[in-house]
Amino acid sequence: MKKIMISVAPVAATDILINPRAIARDVYECYKNGASMVHLHVRDLNGRLTPDLSLLEETVAYIREACDIVVEISTGGVSDLTIEERCQPCYAPFVEATSLNVGSVNLGEAVYLNPIKDVRYCVQQILENNKRPEIEVFEVGMINTVRELAEQFDFVKPILFALVFGHGGEMPATVPALKHMIDALYENFPNRNDVLWGYTQAHREDWEMVKVALDMGATTVRIGFEDSDYIAPGVRVDNNAALIGEVSDIVKAKGMMPMTPDEVRAMLQIPPLKR
């Protein structure tokens, strides 16, 4: 039976009050509903991106009191932070995985800047500190960039890709766009054992493309308020656990099962969690 890693990204970019205990409670309920990874950004109390990890560390400590979910911290997000500031999660012992962004792209009205020199610096910090990168891909050319990076750096296999759709200015959340991305992935990495891919959709209002991605071979899906709070067309929810419960039901209805955190660690060769 195929196992699926369900990742929850619980904090919306528009949040203006970061409450570590509330986030941890939400994440724990998501964990109970099938989430095996949590994706967080480094934010201050007002939701702004920051290199100061103190609030994040507090949040993760509360999460760890409750469960063993895999902790992934972003090295990205639209901001004025330098790449050195963005890479601060690479040095934190409580971080197991990090996002890795490999190219620049328009995201709505914003320009998300990732010049290649910054990308190389970020890759080096991630790998030297034994974190596992989840590579966020917004355009097909970024997959080619990852292949070139893999020729320069010793990535742990399998390399995990998050194929991202739905932002204004990037790949649309359509079946042809998803197929195009998957074809490009396997063209660049013909040994399919070297890569895994997952699906992320910004501004999602229904579950149709999530279902398509699972049918087309996704190993991971990311759900949460960072991307969308819709549980059905026109229907929003006030907690992430409801979204995770819904996608868990979808996974099970397809004859699959959500992964446990330890299964994710084994899949990505993340060291076992010290208990």
For residue 184, the SS3 value is: helix
Q: How confident is the model at residue 97 (pLDDT cuts 50, 70, 90)?
A: very high
Beta strands in 25-69 (DSSP E): 37-40
Pairing of strands 3-8, 257-258: parallel
Q: Counting beta carbons within 10 angstroms of the beta carbon of residue 117, is it exposed (0 to 12), middle (13 to 18) or buried (19 or more)?
A: exposed
Say whether pLDDT at 166 is over 90. Answer: yes
DSSP string, 85-132: HHTGGGG-TT--EEEEE-S-EEETTEEE---HHHHHHHHHHHHHTTPE
Q: What angle do CA 34, 74, 70 make, to 5 degrees?
A: 30
pLDDT of residue 274: 80
Q: Distance between CA atoms of 55 and 35, rounded to whole angstroms?
A: 22
Q: Between these two residues, 39 and 13, which has the higher pLDDT value?
A: 39
- How much of the chain, in percent, has pLDDT values that exceed 90? 95
Say whether pLDDT at 275 is over 90. Answer: no
pTM value?
Answer: 0.96
Task: Pull the structure tokens for residue 48.
Answer: 């702004």
pLDDT tens per residue across span 180-237: 999 999 999 999 999 999 999 999 999 999 999 999 999 999 999 999 999 999 999 9
Q: Per the CATH hierarchy, to which homologous superfamily does domain 3-268 belong? A: Aldolase class I (3.20.20.70)
